[in-house]
């Protein structure tokens, strides 16, 4: 029986004529639907944006003659400030997040024991609430006569200025919003450091700081790098924090893109800005991934 049916399977032809015509192997044939989905849902919109960035100003069609005008406008104007603000705010946010999250990650994996699950849950819960709602919560907290200043005023008669609508406030909002994206990969990274390896380094004469530098940090690096990338990429795209908490004092690049697409009705300019942002962030991510090859760190290669 088995001998008879085996050749039958091997010689069975694809049912669809197009597949036979394409001479695809079964694996490639099965990947076709996903490839088609990715092309339509992911690559095509991206291609449209890239193509639009080469269209003349304020045009709404891809049928015009390609031009570099939008890029010229961007490089001759002051838009670079928005780029710098976005990158700068994201960098500050990520550095602060790293400093805040490492001790928490360490605590979650080694110190808090059975309380870790509860704490992890507490860090997750805010994610269930819309970002805008949470940011307006901060407004209520910090606004004049709000939770903080109102309480200080009624209890101690202290009348202070609000901290709202400052750069610091934007950073606070971003640190708050993107914390889970740094914390969880980092916790995973820290939990990958075996206790015996830390003990061994300590036993071999290393000080606590040397154990951290030589063992903890390099072995937790995959998680740390992923946390850095995740929160950085998200923070570069941050918009509402600057709008709500910063009171439009700072215009991040994403805000510029939004303005170009909506208020200014200048799709090609917006598209060019988006392309530049993708290039900048993409290059940074590539550089980081090249510097920290995750497989090498894990000793897999």
Partner 1 sequence: MDCTQEGPVSRGMNTRTPVIELRQITKSFGSFTAVHTIDLVIGEGEFFTIVGPSGSGKTTVLRMLAGLETPTSGDILLRGKRINDVPANRRPTCMVFQSLALFPHRTVGENIEFPLKIRDVSKADRKARALQLMEQLRLPADYYGKNVTKCSGGERQRVALARALAYNPDILFFDEPLSAIDYKLRKTLEKELKDIHRETGKTFIYITHSLEEAMVMSDRIGVMRQGRLVQVGTPNEIYTAPNSKFVSEFIGDVNIIPVAINGTGKLHSAELGAEFTSPPIPAGFRSGHLVVRPESIRIVERSDSAENRLSGRLYNEYALGSRIQYQVRVGEQVFIVERLRQQAFQGGIDSEVQIGWNARDSILVGD
Binding site for partner 1 (CB under 8 A): 194, 196-197, 199-207, 210, 214-215, 218-219, 296-301
Query: Closest separation between CB of residue 286 and partner 1, Å?
Result: 22
Angle between helices 116-124 and 167-191 in degrees, nearest 10: 140
Q: Find, among 68, 48, 72, 69, the residue nearest to 60 by Cα.
A: 48
For residues 164 and 177, what is the distance between their CA atoms, to the nearest angstrom?
16
Residue nearer to partner 1 on the CB measure, 194 or 282: 194
The DSSP annotation for 168-223 comes to HHHHHHHHHHHHHHHHHHHHHHHHTS-HHHHHHHHHTT--HHHHIIIIIHHHHHHH
Q: Find, among 298, 221, 209, 250, the residue nearest to 93 by Cα.
A: 250
Residue nearer to partner 1 on the CB measure, 159 or 203: 203
Query: Closest separation between CB of residue 201 and partner 1, Å?
Result: 7
Query: Closest separation between CB of residue 63 and partner 1, Å?
Result: 55
Angle in degrees, CA 117, 120, 125, rounded to 5: 120
Residue nearer to partner 1 on the CB measure, 3 or 196: 196
For residues 175 and 266, what is the distance between their CA atoms, to the nearest angstrom?
32
Q: Are 206 and 217 in contact (CB under 8 A)?
A: no
Residue nearer to partner 1 on the CB measure, 118 or 204: 204
Start-end of H helices in the chain? 2-11, 17-22, 26-38, 44-52, 69-76, 80-106, 116-124, 131-142, 147-156, 167-191, 195-203, 208-211, 217-236, 240, 253-261, 267-291, 294-297
Residue nearer to partner 1 on the CB measure, 201 or 245: 201
Half-sphere exposure of 90 (CA within 13 A, CB side): 24
Angle between helices 131-142 and 167-191 in degrees, nearest 10: 130
Residue nearer to partner 1 on the CB measure, 57 or 203: 203
Residue nearer to partner 1 on the CB measure, 177 or 215: 215
Query: Closest separation between CB of residue 207 and partner 1, Å?
Result: 6
Residue nearer to partner 1 on the CB measure, 7 or 299: 299
In a 3-state reduction of DSSP, which class is residue 65? Answer: coil
């Amino acid at each position: 029986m088995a001998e008879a049916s085996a050749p039958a399977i091997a010689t069975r032809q694809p049912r669809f004529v197009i597949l036979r015509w394409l001479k695809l192997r079964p694996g490639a044939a099965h990947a076709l639907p996903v490839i088609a989905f990715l092309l339509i849902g992911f690559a095509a919109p991206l291609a449209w944006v890239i193509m639009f960035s080469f269209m003349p100003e304020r045009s709404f069609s891809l049928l015009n003659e390609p031009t570099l005008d939008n890029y010229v406008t961007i490089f001759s104007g002051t838009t670079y400030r928005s780029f710098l603000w976005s990158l700068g705010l994201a960098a500050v946010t990520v550095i602060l997040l790293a400093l805040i999250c490492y001790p928490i990650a360490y605590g979650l994996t080694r110190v808090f024991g059975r309380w870790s699950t509860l704490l992890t849950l507490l860090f997750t819960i805010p994610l269930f609430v819309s970002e805008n709602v949470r940011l307006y919560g901060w407004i209520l907290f910090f606004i004049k006569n709000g939770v903080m200043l109102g309480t200080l005023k009624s209890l101690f008669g202290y009348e202070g200025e609000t901290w709202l609508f400052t750069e610091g406030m934007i950073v606070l909002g971003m640190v708050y919003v993107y914390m889970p994206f740094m914390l969880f990969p980092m916790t995973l990274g820290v939990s990958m450091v075996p206790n015996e390896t830390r003990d061994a380094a300590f036993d071999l004469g290393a000080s606590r700081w040397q154990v951290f530098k030589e063992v903890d940090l390099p072995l937790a690096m995959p998680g740390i790098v992923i946390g850095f990338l995740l929160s950085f990429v998200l923070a570069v795209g941050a918009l509402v924090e600057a709008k709500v908490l910063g009171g439009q004092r700072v215009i991040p690049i994403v805000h510029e893109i939004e303005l170009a697409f909506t208020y200014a009705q200048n799709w090609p300019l917006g598209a060019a800005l988006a392309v530049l942002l993708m290039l900048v962030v993409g290059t940074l991510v590539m550089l980081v991934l090249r510097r920290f090859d995750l497989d090498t760190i894990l000793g897999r290669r």
